[in-house]
Amino acid sequence: MFSKDTVVGVIGSGAMGSGIAQVAAMAGHKVIIYDSNEAAIEKSKSNLNNLLKKLLEKQKLTEQAATEISQKLYFSKSFNSFSECGIIIEAIVENLEVKQKVFSEAEKIVSENCILATNTSSLSIASVASSCKKNSRVLGIHFFNPAHIMPLVEIIPSLSTDASIVTETKKLIDSWGKLTVIAKDTPGFIVNRIARPYYGEAIRIYEEGFADFQTIDWAMKEIGGFKMGPFELMDFIGNDVNYKVTETVWEQFFYDTRYKPSLTQKRLFESGRFGKKSGRGYYDYSEEAVNPEPQKDKELGEKIFLRILSMLINEAVDAFYLNVASKEDIDLAMTKGVNYPKGLLKWCDQIGIDKIYNQLKNLQDEYGEDRYRPSVLMKRMESKGEKFFT
């Protein structure tokens, strides 16, 4: 179905769209990038040229290769340019109505065999596909930011997606040098679903006065081995983006308390404290800022780490139980999509499922909240002393 001659279309020339375009062009495809905003197109051109220059300087590309990649990138303000595309990947604002309108318009231009994909991180693929007459060719291809660096890509078919399209699309993205996982069309897919407690439970610990931002971040890095603490990571991602994903996952899970957003997160969003990009988030990023030091108490740190990790593992176990993805894909997604130090299911095996289960049961008994309920699968496996991997 796909070959090096397949023309790739990208809708949206923002950071994600530009990154996807670069990946496709570096894999040898002609790429057409569409955006209705002239300023956005010019910014994308500049950013892509600068990225190629950096790769040249680092000797990761030859001058000839950089020129060839640059010549494969075409920019357009007309949807008609997509008529020759074999696949189109949409990377625009996380708004269902806008995406549906774009897909409906794109379908009028492309050939019968062109695949239509959305890069959504949290919206229903089925809902996006419902705007198309031929919804069997629509699926999710979720890259992680920055797309040209992060290795993981989630492939998400809807109930209507043709199985052969999933297989061929996976082969295509694999050929671009990416690591692909197949996810069920459920809120947040794999990564954004399972990662919610990394932020939500950290905020809960802070709101209880158990520890401050700096100490929680220190615990997860020093004791847990995570590259970034939850508050650092939220500031890096952007608290506007992180809050919106949290809210979307919560709503799509019919307001399950496990995914409930926090008022702390909402107030930061309302205050425009989006993190690094706005100069202020959980931390102050201004030049003269001096952020407080963490409380480096190992016993406190271990309690924080085990509480957050137990919640993360519980989400991973439940995702496996509910057939969101295979256990191998779940662990691969978390290590390659958000750089976790270990796959959560393997981590559970190492620590002992009894220890994780007891931690969750103790929290559930103490708080009396459904938020801490252990997965049914964890309960069954704990009673039998089973492991996920032999």
**Exactly one of 13, 135, 192, 239 is catalytic; which is it?**
192
For residue 276, CA distances in Å to 94, 216, 231, 236, 243 come to 21, 19, 11, 6, 15
* Element of type H or E holding 359: helix 353-367
**Is the separation of the CB atoms in 43 and 13 below 8 Å?**
yes
User: 142, 262, 314, 315: which one is catalytic?
Assistant: 142
Let me know if 121 is a catalytic residue.
yes
Q: Tell me the one-letter amino acid at 182.
A: I
Could you say which of 18, 44, 121, 375 is catalytic? Answer: 121
Backbone angles phi, psi at 179, to 5 degrees: -100, 120
3-state SS record for 240-258: HHHHHHHHHHHHHCCCCHH
Round to whole Å and give the CA distance between 341 and 144.
17
The single residue of 107, 154, 232, 382 carrying the catalytic annotation is: 154
Active site annotation includes 49: no
CB atoms within 10 A of CB 62: 11
78 is catalytic: no
Any catalytic annotation for residue 142? yes
**74: exposed, middle or buried (Cβ count in 10 Å: 0-12, 13-18, 19+):** middle
Measured CA to CA, the distance from residue 132 to residue 205 in angstroms comes to: 44
Which positions are annotated as active-site residues?
Answer: 121, 142, 154, 192
